[in-house]
Structure 1
Amino acid sequence: MTFWLLKSEPDTFSIDDLRDQQEAPWDGVRNYQARNFMQAMQPGDSFLFYHSSCQPPGLAGIGRITRAPYPDQTALNPESPYHDPRCHAERLPWVAVDVAFVEKFPRLLSLAELRELAGLEGLALLQRGSRLSVMPVEPDQWKILLAAARRT
């Protein structure tokens, strides 16, 4: 199993939305490096759900990948906020995965709190200039993050 961190703006799609739907597509990623990470995802992988572009940003819960990467059709839909006019059915570089709700943390673990945790020096989220919406998490980092997030 591989561990991931997926970012979403909570006013667009939040951990509560995923909990309410139980399963949903994770689509709309339009960065090639993030796309490459998504292409490596497999059913059964777990991810930390991170609320971004809000105050405060932070870890909100856990989800699971339920479907391997597949072509992200939102890129072809002019009505979609994720439409990519450069794409067509024969050339669709973007992928989506399906995700399921696992757990909502008792409280949001803020970015400021994450920066204070020992053992996360290599976590991509905490690197200066890191803006990726999809990134891998090492198993030791996963354990540290879960322990901190589950503390009330």
Structure 2
Amino acid sequence: MGVRLSRRGWNNVIIIGVILFIAVIQFPDLLRNRQAANEAAGTPALALLLPELAEINRLVLPAHELLREASGAWRSQPPLADAAQVVAHWQALAGTRVEDALIAQLKPQLTAPRTAEIWLASAQEPIRVTCYQLPQFWLLRNWQGQWLAVTVDEAYLFPASPE
């Protein structure tokens, strides 16, 4: 009681099988491309200043040096009211990626850089972060060389010493 297919029928079965095979192979790529297009059309993604699981051991700012002691407490020179909070700010800092074309337009305004040295527990060399303060935002270069726009108050990044 089997169905006997003609030569033309078998050809159709083979063609449909090949088309289904190609569709199954291409489906994951199609999903990835569609997801990437949806993300690109949405809000700009935030990028982290530091690697995701980075642990800061030492933070050197223009006016302060913060060092983690063996006990886990933070010591600052000159003293800060809340050194641990300053380190937490830098640890969690994220911003909107800025394209190279916009950086080229902003270049004339990038005149007074500040540098922060961030020593991580997992690295031999510090990450040097270049920071520029513009009227509406800060421009920082992250550990991957990407420029990030961050909207925070100056004291959030560079605290003043208590008088």
TM-score (norm 1): 0.26
Higher relative contact order (CA 8 A, sep 6+): 1
Report which of the two has the higher share of strand: 1
Superposition TM-score, scaled by structure 2 size? 0.25
Q: Which has the higher helix share?
A: 2
CA radius of gyration, larger in: 2
